[in-house]
Structure 1
């Protein structure tokens, strides 16, 4: 009876692991579309921003820390020391026939304190190194690009804030192959990233419940992964901003 050797088993495992790896776009050309959904050009994407390999451990640490830092610890209950009143003993210790008590704010009394209830003193914030946050952003952008969920738009060019114009632009972009869900999803459909501070465009999109607006310099892994699509306006300027962040991250690595 033939039995596979250890080396043959290792080769099978290596071939299976390589076949399951996701392909990452390294320096590929991306198409640029107009707000009417028509192709108007192309550009080459930098590898250090859109060609970073996926890292499960890194993304988990960064996303969990960002969610913890955004957590608002609102729930708070009063214990017997926080409830007003109850400083006097309700009745004397002996001779009344009733159970002994020292305060009407005891947790077993109506109107008393709460035992082991939630308190807002607990701190959930977690610190994460700056270079880890920066790399996690590039990992998220690379995954979005490899999944075909990033759309580059030359300019929305809204002269004045108009929600109707913004909805029309989203419907036009939904005609691009692979972005059909833009017209169907009612929540977290797209994150629109602006390279410049376009007040008219931002106000045009802010009334749409399924679209969120953000500046490119404020992009973070949680926002990128929290939306189905990422729409980047003015991609040339946006990529310059992202490349500057990548260069700063590389400088931090050399310093450390």
Structure 2
């Protein structure tokens, strides 16, 4: 598939991008599964409740088993008692991981990239290099491209690029190997370099 790529002189040149990555059908159920899996895997347990063994109660039987007319009771830490432990408490070491196999993950990323390309939210550039580790260097380059919110995908995020973009709230730079579904859908535009496309071909197949 042939696209227009912006070269280092801000001119245009023709470039072929792989149909297998940028021109496949959008699979919404798979994307939903991919995003849910990514968010769940990033989650860690941060809450804790006490079960009947953890609450501080006497283990003495409140009253005898028979003859009182009241319901049977073994101890006041029972979950059915006020102040008792929880029957199924939450633990801080709870595992929220949702597994997604590599084939599905790759297909999901390709589906998102294809959707972004079809929505005209993708910009192809020969390279994206900033000369100084200064925010104004990145702002100057982005303003030439007319971008306010963009994810820059390049083959190598060097120190200059990292330092120049880290203070910009709507700008981020990332390498193809670290790409994730939330990053792709969180920005208005995706800027991809020629070398990054080659890496995508190697990673996604």
| Cα RMSD (Å) | 3.0
> Aligned-pair distance for 1:130?
0.6
1:199 and 2:170 matched = no
1:67 counterpart SS class: helix
2:24 counterpart SS class: coil
- Checking the alignment, whether the CA contact within 8 Å between 1:191 and 1:227 is kept in structure 2 is yes
> Aligned-pair distance for 1:161?
1.1
- Structure-1-length-normalised TM-score: 0.65
Distance 1:40 1:59, change over 3 A: same
> Aligned-pair distance for 1:169?
2.2
> Aligned-pair distance for 1:128?
1.2
| Counterpart Cα distance in 2 of 1:51 and 1:207 | 34
1:159 counterpart SS class: coil
Residue 242 of structure 1, aligned match among 177, 200, 203: 200
CA deviation profile, 1:117-152 (whole Å, cap 9, x unmatched):
543354321111111111111111111111111112
Residue 182 of structure 2, aligned match among 222, 234, 238: 222
- Structure-2-length-normalised TM-score: 0.79
Distance 1:218 1:92, change over 3 A: closer
Q: How does 1:60-209 map to 2 (within 5 A)?
A: 60-83=32-55, 85-87=56-58, 102=75, 108-109=82-83, 113=85, 118-174=90-146, 182-183=147-148, 189-209=149-169
Query: Which of the pair is proportionally richer in helix?
Result: 1
Map of 2:4 onto structure 1:
30
> Aligned-pair distance for 1:93?
5.6
| Counterpart Cα distance in 1 of 2:156 and 2:186 | 22
Consecutive unaligned residues in structure 2, runs of 5 or more:
65-72
| Counterpart Cα distance in 2 of 1:156 and 1:245 | 21
- Checking the alignment, whether the CA contact within 8 Å between 1:32 and 1:43 is kept in structure 2 is no
